[in-house]
Amino acid sequence: MSLIDLTLAQARAGLRAKTFSARDLTAAHLEAITALNPTLNAFITVTPEIALAEAEAADRALAAGTAGPLAGIPLAIKDLFCTEGVRTTAASLMLETFVPPYESTVTAKLRDAGAVFVGKTNLDEFAMGSSNLTSAYGAVTNPWRRAGDDTPLVPGGSSGGSAAAVAARLALGATGTDTGGSIRQPASFCGIVGMKPSYGRCSRYGIIAFASSLDQAGPMARTVEDCAILLGAMAGFDPKDSTSADIPVPDFQAACTRGVKGLRIGVPREYAAPGMPDEIAALWHLGRDILRAAGAEIIDISLPHTEYALPTYYIVAPAEASSNLARYDGVRFGRREDGADLIEMYERTRAKGFGDEVKRRILIGTYVLSAGYYDAYYLRAQKVRSLILGDFTTAFARCDAILTPTAPSAAFAQGEKMDDPIKMYLNDIYTVPASLAGLPAMSVPVGQSQEGLPLGLQMIGRPFDEETVFAVAAEIERAAGFSARPAIRAGVSA
C-alpha cells in the first residue's frame, strides 16, 4: 500500500513500528501535492521546507521515545488559522501579505502533538460560502467527477481546500472551521469525514473570525477514528478564548467502538421537506436501517422551528461578520490603498481588498444592525435562535442523537449556483440548525449519487457529547463500508 493511502491511525502505527520514517511519509505527501495541486488548487501555500524539518524532528522524537500522539503525521491547515511566520490569507486579497506573528491555539496544540504541516488550504473568502468559488486565489476543484463526465465540480465550502486535499490523499487529515456547515458540507461533497464540535470545545484564538458566536474549528479526515484522534489533540480549554469551555477532553477514539445498542436516534420530520431528492431520502433511510440493525431505536422527533434556521443564520452570521471585518481598515492588518484622506483610504482599501460575497455580507450585516432595523431583524433573529436551541433541548429529552442528511445534493458544477446567492445559501439547510444551537455534528460518507458522487449523512449530538456522535458515526461508517475513490485517485492502487 502506498504511504498516502494509509489512514492516520495506520500511519501512526507504522511510524511507531519504524516501518517507514516520518520523513518518507511527509515526502510522499509533498510529492502528491506537487503532482495534483496544480489541478486541484487545494493549497494556497505549500510549506515543504517546514514540513520536512518538522518530519525530521518527529523522527528524532520517535527514536528517542518522546514522540507526541501525532508525531510525523502530515496535516493540511485551513488558511484561516494563523500560523506564526507562515502567510495566512483567509483566501482574501485583504490579507495577501499577512504573516501572523503568533500561532492559533488549535494549530499550536497540533504542533505540540508532533504533527507536520504541509501547507495552508484554500477556502471561500473569509469562510463565506459553500463552493470555494469566492476565494481570491482561484476555485478549488473537487477530486471527484460525475461518472463519464469531466465537468469540474466544486468541493463544497468553505473548508473545500481541506476536504479536497484529504480526499485526494495530499494529507492524512486537515483542520477546518464550521460556522454554518463549512466542515460538514465539503466533507459530504468530497467523500470524507468531518466534525464540527460543540461550540466552545476548540479554542477560536488565532482563527480569523467570521461569526464569533458560531465559528468552531474541527477535524477532517478519511475515517471517523482519524477525526477522533485529531479532535483529541485540537480540543481543550484555552484562557485566551473567553467562550472556550473549561471541561475535560474525553477519549474520543475510545468512543468510536462503543456501538449504538440501546441508543435512541431521532429523525426530525421537518427535515423531510418536499423537494428532497429521492437519492438523499434513500440515503437517509439507509442510515436508519443501519442503526436499527445495530440495536438502536429510531424515533420520530419534531424540530418545529427548522424552517426559520436559514433566515436566522443569514441575519446573525452577516451581522457578526460586518462587525468582525471592521478591523480591516488599511491601518492595522494587511492591505492598504492610499487615499486623499483617511475616509478615502478606508474606502479604497476595503473596495479593493474584499470580494463580492464578503461585501454582500458586510452590507446585509450593517443593515440588520442599523438603528431602526436592529429590532426588526437582529433582535428577532436572536429570539428565533433561542427557539431553535429550545427545539433541540426538547428533542434530546427523548433521543440521544439525531440523524439527518448533510446536504441537499451531491457536489455541483463550478458556476452552477453562482448567479443566485439564495440558491447557494440553501446548501446549508441541514447544517445551520446545529450551528445556531452550538451542537456537535458530523458528516460521514455513506453512499453515492446516481452520478457516482459521494453523499454524506449527518449525526447531531447533545452539547459536549461528541462521544455519542462518534459512536453513531463509526457504526454507520462500518456498515456503509464506503470505499469509493475520487476520479483523480481512481487509477492508483490501494
- Residue numbers annotated as active site: 78, 158, 182
Q: Please list every residue from 401 through 440 that binds ligand GLN, using CB under 6 A.
A: 428
Binder among 210, 284, 354, 464 for ligand GLN (CB under 6 A): 210
Binding part of the chain for ligand GLN, among 37-45, 122-130, 298-306, 377-385 by CB under 6 A, reads 122-130
Task: Say whether residue 158 binds ligand GLN (CB under 6 A).
Answer: yes
Binder among 114, 161, 181, 197 for ligand GLN (CB under 6 A): 181
Alpha-carbon separation of residue 371 from 236, 319, 359, 367, 374 (angstroms):
38, 13, 20, 9, 6
Element (H, E) at 219: strand 216-221
Task: Say whether residue 320 binds ligand GLN (CB under 6 A).
Answer: no
The residue whose Cβ lies closest to ligand GLN is 182
Fill in the amino acid letter for 30: L
At 144, list the grid cell.
471527484
Binder among 68, 72, 129, 463 for ligand GLN (CB under 6 A): 129
Q: Any idea what DSSP says for residue 376?
A: I
Dihedral sign from CA coordinates of 299, 301, 307, 312: negative
Element (H, E) at 401: strand 401-405
**Residue-wise burial string across 343-371, b where 16 or more C-beta atoms lie within 10 A, e elsewhere:** eebbebbbeebbbebbeebbebbbbbbee
DSSP 254-319: HHTTS--TT-EEEEEGGGS-TT--HHHHHHHHHHHHHHHHTT-EEEEE--TTGGGHHHHHHHHHHH
Binding part of the chain for ligand GLN, among 39-47, 127-135, 140-148, 476-484 by CB under 6 A, reads 127-135
Say which residue the cell 465550502 belongs to: 157
Task: Say whether residue 133 binds ligand GLN (CB under 6 A).
Answer: no
Whose Cβ is closer to ligand GLN: residue 141's or residue 179's? 179
- As a whole number of Å, the end-to-end CA separation of the chain is 6
- To ligand GLN, the closest distance from the beta carbon of 139 in angstroms equals 15
Whose Cβ is closer to ligand GLN: residue 149's or residue 420's? 420
- To ligand GLN, the closest distance from the beta carbon of 393 in angstroms equals 23
- To ligand GLN, the closest distance from the beta carbon of 435 in angstroms equals 7
Whose Cβ is closer to ligand GLN: residue 229's or residue 317's? 317
Whose Cβ is closer to ligand GLN: residue 8's or residue 317's? 317
Q: Which residues bind ligand GLN (CB under 6 A)?
A: 127-130, 158, 178-182, 210, 317, 428
